[in-house]
Amino acid sequence: MRISKGYWIWGLFSSKDTYFLNQIKAKVQSKLKSPFFQTHLTLSGPYLNISDIFLNKLKNFAKDNSAISLNVDGYDFRQEIYKSFFIAIKNSCSLKELRRNIYNLSKFDLENNYSPHISLSYGNHELKEKKELISKLSKINKSITLSKIALVFVDENINLWKIIESFDLN
């Protein structure tokens, strides 16, 4: 069962990469309408509750961990609302280690068939539209830097994705 209301930890990108990704996202959303959400890579969650202790651990975690480079695996899509159209990311050793270290702060379902991706559109869109869109988008020939982590409150029932606090990775 999907938990639609809770807290998640997102990875955020360097300002240069955020700008680049937002340009792609705008092109995608001009064809595939979507609720608004910030460009991100989900790292962990959901957590039903968070405490000040956990928030402090997350802040210290950011100081002790470095930005990582993510390798792009191309555009992809699913017939799922929150994986409707996205940029697939290779599940590298550094990304696995980052998630494992977050897991050590507060347990979550680490073995949940994690498929790292950067969503470009949420919603129920036609397969034909998605396939056509992929053929029109430029290939991404660069890595992307994950340079921040953020604690986010999510309530999918009202299309709310609110960053509570974000921390720069060292």
How far is it, in rounded angstroms, from Cα 120 to Cα 133? 12
58 and 168 in contact (C-beta within 8 Å)? no
Instruction: Please write the tens of the pLDDT for every residue from 29-69.
Output: 999 999 999 999 999 988 999 999 999 999 999 999 999 99
Please tell me which residue, 1 or 156, carries the higher pLDDT value: 156
Number of H helices, E strands in the chain: 4, 8
Structure tokens at 100: 């494992």
What's the start-to-end Cα distance of the chain, in Å? 36
What rounded mean pLDDT belongs to the chain?
Answer: 94
Token match 């480079």: residue?
69
**67-89: average pLDDT:** 96
Please tell me which residue, 90 or 106, carries the higher pLDDT value: 90
Given a cut of 90, is residue 3 above it in pLDDT?
Answer: no
Which pLDDT does position 103 carry in this prediction?
A: 87
Given a cut of 80, is residue 6 above it in pLDDT?
Answer: yes
Given a cut of 80, is residue 1 above it in pLDDT?
Answer: no
Work out the pLDDT band at 71, boundaries 50, 70, 90: very high
**What are the structural domains of the chain?**
5-168 (3.90.1140.10)
The SS3 call for residue 148 is strand
